[in-house]
Amino acid sequence: MTAPGLSIWSHPELLSALAAEDWGAVLRTYRRLSGLSQTKVGERVGLAQPDVSDIERGRRRVTSGEVRQRIVGGLGAPVHVAEPYRAPVAGLVLPGPGPDADLLARITGATEATHKADAATLDRLDRLLAEHRSAEDLIGSRPLVGLMRQQLRAVVDLFGSARGPLAGRVVRLAAEHAQFLAWMAQDQGQTAAALAWYDRSHDWALEAGDADMAATTLSMKAHMAWSGGQGDRAVRLAEAARWSAPDASPGVRGMAAQMAARGHSLNGAGDHAHRLIDEAQGLITRASEHPEDEPAWMYFYGETWFTLQRGMIAMHLRDWPDAIGHLRTGLAKLEAPYRRDRTWYGCCLAHAYAGAREAAEALTVAVPLVPDAATIGRPHSWNELHVTAAALMRRGAKEGRLLADALGQYD
């Protein structure tokens, strides 16, 4: 047996199985080296124990990129081993350093302008970005990635002809586009691409003197850490967003407080989490009284959103009744067109029911969500349903196997 951690991934037998993409051998070898059971490995990769057994015995093939990513990520493969299995977003990750190697040169004027920058053009680009943000809320990120990348190119092409205040405005608009591309990469589980875009957005925001965007990029990195189960990192990044931009708007400061609350909830620090979510809601309420003073990307916060966030915090704290109550209330108020958000929070509700040992309710909520989780909800909602199925099966509930079978039709 080898001690868990990086030393496992230095074992030639495990590396050989991964190189051959023999996922059954990967699971078997990892379990032998780590001493973990099929159930424990399943918990790490978001698969039910019978699914782990079927993969190990060759009765089930792993064809889904998301499942491959869950295996290498859940088993802690180091970056140089896991990277080939982190599929890039089409049209987003290009060869060379960073998300797009020529954009930095273009934004600093290394290429000649092909379009003329004027206030009217920038106004139209502002409106177009706002429309795309709203569209992404409804249809998800995948259809918009290529379009937004082209739109960012159009923005940076304006820099060479921009003069005076217009030049700063172009850089600020580029930062907003990069932040949106980062969010879309994050939504699709493309961590490396998202971090690269957030870094680019943060740099441009600092150059433009945009405290709101600089703080937002740090808050969104905190969100990524929370998504990856890294409570301490989420708290540190959220606190950095707060102290590094004291002049940010109340709404942006509220976002940072809310991200810190998420991190503390992951760590089981309920008092800190509840105090910060209350502080966040107070700041957002202040922001709603003067929306003209808030940046354009702060449009989505409101009472319903905070109800859902309180449900998420309760879920992390394993306060299942409180989680169920808040998530049900929030979902009832969330408009039907918001399919992605309804799918995500619905999957969390199913998880909360499973945690409360209400297996029938968990299955009733989860099964109708499977088609949307398999499409616009990958990887986050999809993984949450796998976690729910595994939780049900660990408790011996037949509903866990039924949910796993429903998921298997789309894996």
Q: What 3 state SS string does the chain have?
A: CCCCCHHHHHCHHHHHHHHCCCHHHHHHHHHHHHCCCHHHHHHHHCCCHHHHHHHHCCCCCCCCHHHHHHHHHHCCCCHHHHHHHCCCCCCCCCCCCCCCCCHHHHHCCCCCCCCCCCHHHHHHHHHHHHHHHHHHHHHCCHHHHHHHHHHHHHHHCCHHHCCCHHHHHHHHHHHHHHHHHHHHHHHCCCHHHHHHHHHHHHHHHHHHCCHHHHHHHHHHHHHHHHHCCCHHHHHHHHHHHHHHCCCCCHHHHHHHHHHHHHHHHHCCCHHHHHHHHHHHHHHHHHHHHCHHHCCHHHCCCCHHHHHHHHHHHHHHCCCHHHHHHHHHHHHHHCCCCCHHHHHHHHHHHHHHHHHCCCHHHHHHHHHHHHHHHHCCCCCHHHHHHHHHHHHHHHCCCHHHHHHHHHHHCCC
Q: Are residues 202 and 225 in the same domain?
A: no
Q: What is the pLDDT of residues 140-156, one digit of tens each?
A: 788 888 888 888 888 87
Determine, yes or no, domain membership for 315: no
Q: Are residues 201 and 116 in the same domain?
A: yes
Helix 165-187 / helix 211-227 crossing angle, nearest 10 deg:
10
Domain count, the chain: 4
Q: What is the pLDDT of residues 250-301, one digit of tens each?
A: 999 999 999 999 999 999 999 999 999 999 999 988 888 888 888 888 876 7
The token duo for 215 is: 């703080």
Determine, yes or no, domain membership for 220: yes
Give the end of a domain, one of 85, 107, 141.
Answer: 85
Q: Are residues 199 and 96 in the same domain?
A: yes
Which of 95-109, 301-315, 316-330 is most confident?
A: 316-330
Q: pLDDT: is 364 or 35 the higher one?
A: 364
Q: Are residues 158 and 184 in the same domain?
A: yes
Mean pLDDT value across residues 235-248: 92
Determine, yes or no, domain membership for 323: no
Question: What length is written for the chain?
Answer: 411
C-alpha 258/C-alpha 109 separation (Å) is 38
**pLDDT band per the 50, 70, 90 thresholds, residue 411:** low
Contact predicate 274/313, CB 8 Å: yes
Mean pLDDT value across residues 80-98: 42
**pLDDT band per the 50, 70, 90 thresholds, residue 392:** very high
Q: Which domain holds residue 24?
A: 6-85
Give the end of a domain, one of 154, 188, 208.
Answer: 208
**pLDDT band per the 50, 70, 90 thresholds, residue 66:** low
Determine, yes or no, domain membership for 377: yes
The predicted pLDDT at position 83 comes to 54
Q: What is the pLDDT of residues 111-134, one digit of tens each?
A: 344 457 788 888 888 888 988 888
Determine, yes or no, domain membership for 320: no
74 burial level (CB within 10 Å; 0-12, 13-18, 19+): middle
Determine, yes or no, domain membership for 321: no
Q: pLDDT: is 351 or 131 the higher one?
A: 351
C-alpha 308/C-alpha 348 separation (Å) is 10
Which of 3-12, 119-128, 281-290, 340-349 is most confident?
A: 340-349
**pLDDT band per the 50, 70, 90 thresholds, residue 309:** very high
Mean pLDDT value across residues 85-104: 39
Mean pLDDT value across residues 303-314: 92
Q: Single out the residue of 214, 208, 218, 297 nearest to residue 251, CA to CA.
A: 297
Mean pLDDT value across residues 327-340: 90
Which of 16-30, 259-273, 383-397 is most confident?
A: 259-273
Give the end of a domain, one of 85, 112, 135.
Answer: 85
Q: Is the pLDDT of residue 322 over 80?
A: yes
Q: Is the pLDDT of residue 99 over 50?
A: no
Q: Are residues 171 and 100 in the same domain?
A: yes
